[in-house]
Structure 1
Amino acid sequence: MCDELTAADTDRHLSRRQLGAAAGAIGAAVLLPAPANAKPIKGRDVVITTPDGQCDAYFTAPTAGKHPAVLIWPDIMGLRPAFRTMADRLAQSGYAVLVVNQFYRSAKSPIVQPGESFDQPAVRERITPWRAVLTPAAVTSDGKTFVAFLDTQKEVDTKRGIGSAGYCMGGPMVIRTAAASSRIKAGASFHGAGLVNDAPDSPHKLVPQLRGGYLIAIATNDDARNPNDKVALREAFTTAKRPAEIEVYDGAMHGWCVIDSKVYNQPQAERAWGKMLDLFANNLDRHA
């Protein structure tokens, strides 16, 4: 979950040496292996008009041809260099990628400065009210707007489905967008927060409205705190007859997939990334 308990988990499980190494995790980005046959890409900052304002975002795609689109929802610390790097890497694999600042109603990106993290009380106090504005209705509206934006970009192949990936608080945003838009044909949630709750519109209750395949990658410490979530998710996908791979990643803590996270776990992050590429290849790399 994206809260102070997760921050406490992080400090409890990481040694001082690990914390020191993790502080420079963004440097690992330059060590990430390039995709096989990586395509030349070009990125640009964009502004998307929504019913609630102007959303700043980053769009990146191969320099030639049309490609399946992917919408990325960042974690609690929003659009920042780490997510631009991850978006570029996905674009090198042949996708037109949009990563958004979901906090645009409250602040422009980056919403955190170098050295800041959500485990710092002052940062939490600043971001928490911005997160509260992101109601299910707001997220659903934004998701549909972002999908529509992607379909207007010359680099996007509108004959193919769109994928979505979300991290931490972005996990349920993937599900809400996919439930609201028939253009979404695949979704991946990495250490998603709040996928299962008691509300009538809990993300796991929206599974019957989904299309295509899904990947739900769960952190070990999230599973320890909410062991029944994976059970509820599996039951939801099975009942709805929707294909999904739902797995707890052994030893991977909440945030392990993001390259500037203190708990970035490169072997497990690479495995999750490969699963996402397989998901998109199987669901997007063909005409919808």
Structure 2
Amino acid sequence: MSITTKWIDIEAADGTFGAYLAIPHTGKGPGIVLLQEIFGVNEHIRTVAEQYANDGYVVLVPDLFWRIEKRIELGYDDAGWKRAAELMQATDVAKAQSDIALTVAALKAQPALDGKLAVIGYCFGGRLAYHAAADGLVDAAIAYYGGGIQNQLQRADEIKVPLLMHFGAADSHIPLDAVQKIAERFEDNDDVEVHVYADAEHGFNCSHRASYNQRASVEAHGNSLTFLSDHL
């Protein structure tokens, strides 16, 4: 048997958006809401969802850019970066956070869900995962190279669930002093982990990008699985 995947529809107050669902071969498991980079729910993000489904999780990935263009998929060339930046700038973050709450509710309604629920986000999605943790939407949260978290530390005391953050030591978008600022803010919170991976650039988990770092990707995935096993 293998995992099963499909798109489902989720109703919002101002329309309907799609979400990519991946179910493990067992037909049930704990849940993960997986949040995209700025490149949409593209092949890479769907592959990550399928990877976690193979690990035994029921994964749901909302299309967060649907109000601008539904199911957009971008690559990592210059044109993709340009369009991705435009989409991120045009996105109403408050509405995206509302969509994430609706996605959590939709995942909780899935018969395949068996257990607790986490959020995992990458880049833009990493920052949104941090906010989802602060909003109390999930039982645990993981943020991969979440840009801008260092500017949202006023929400740190609102985070009451376990949080794992992954950063690259060579990230040209998130300097190490920003990572240090985050780590220092949470140093007294035993439920928050910050991992920094040597020689890893921004997007180190994405095998479709030039910045892919195989060792950092594998180590971060292993740390994430241990974290999820401990908290879900």
Tell whether the 8 Å contact from 2:171 to 2:200 is kept in structure 1 after alignment.
no
Mark the CA change 1:165 to 1:213 in structure 2 (over 3 Å): closer, same or farther: same
Equivalent residue number for residue 196 of structure 1: 150
How big is the shift at 1:164?
Answer: 1.0
Which residue number corresponds to residue 235 of structure 1?
Answer: 184
Deviation of 1:97 after TM superposition, in Å, equals 0.3
1:142 CA displacement: 1.5
1:282 aligns to 2:226 (yes or no): no
Structure-2 residue corresponding to 1:15: none
Structure 2 equivalent of residue 153 of structure 1: 110
- The aligned length equals 232
Please give the TM-score of this superposition, normalised by the length of structure 2: 0.90
Aligned residue in 2 for 1:250: 198
Q: Is the 1:66–1:155 Cα contact (8 Å) retained in structure 2?
A: yes
Q: Is the 8 A contact 1:208 1:242 kept in 2?
A: no
1:120-173 per-residue CA deviation (whole Å, 9 max, x = no partner) reads: 1x444433332123344223212211111111111012xx32111111111111
Percent identity between the two aligned chains: 27
Q: Secondary structure at the match of 2:225?
A: helix
Would you say 1:67 and 2:42 are equivalent positions? no
Indicate how the Cα distance of structure 1 residues 270 and 124 shifts in structure 2: closer, same or farther if over 3 A, else same.
closer
- SS, match of residue 98 in structure 1: strand
Q: What residue ranges of structure 2 are gaps of 5+ in the alignment?
A: none
CA RMSD of aligned residues (A): 2.1
Measured in 2, the distance between the counterparts of 1:88 and 1:166 equals 15
SS class of match (1:47): strand
What is the match of residue 128 of structure 1? 85
Pick closer, same or farther for the CA change 1:209–1:242 going to 2, 3 Å. farther
Structure 1 residue 237 displacement after superposition: 2.0
Q: Which amino acid aligns with 2:125?
A: G
Deviation track 1:259-279 (CA, whole Å, cap 9, x = no partner) reads 211211112101100111011
Q: What are the residue-to-residue correspondences of 1:106-185 with 2, within 5 Å?
A: 106-112=68-74, 116-117=75-76, 120=78, 122-157=79-114, 160-182=115-137, 184-185=138-139
Aligned partner letter, 2:108: D
Question: 2:133, 2:161 within 8 Å by CA — same for their partners in 1?
Answer: no
Deviation readout 1:207-236 (Å, 9 max, x if unpaired): 222233222111223378623222221233
SS at match of 1:153: coil
- CA–CA distance in structure 2, aligned partners of residues 53 and 129 of structure 1: 22
Higher relative contact order (CA 8 A, sep 6+): 1
Q: Which moved more, 1:127-136 or 1:254-263?
A: 127-136
- Comparing both structures, which one devotes a greater share of its residues to strand? 2
The amino acid across from 1:180 in the alignment is D
Q: SS state of the match for residue 85, structure 1?
A: helix
Please list, as runs of the form range in 1=range in 2, the aligned pairs for 1:44-83 lying within 5 A after superposition: 44-83=6-45
Distance 1:45 1:247 in 2: 33
3-state SS, counterpart of residue 186 of structure 2? helix
In structure 2, how many angstroms separate the alpha carbons of the residues matched to 1:134 and 1:188?
22
Structure 1: gaps (5+ residues): 1-38
Where does residue 64 of structure 2 map in the other structure?
Answer: 102
Query: Secondary structure of the equivalent of 1:222?
Result: coil
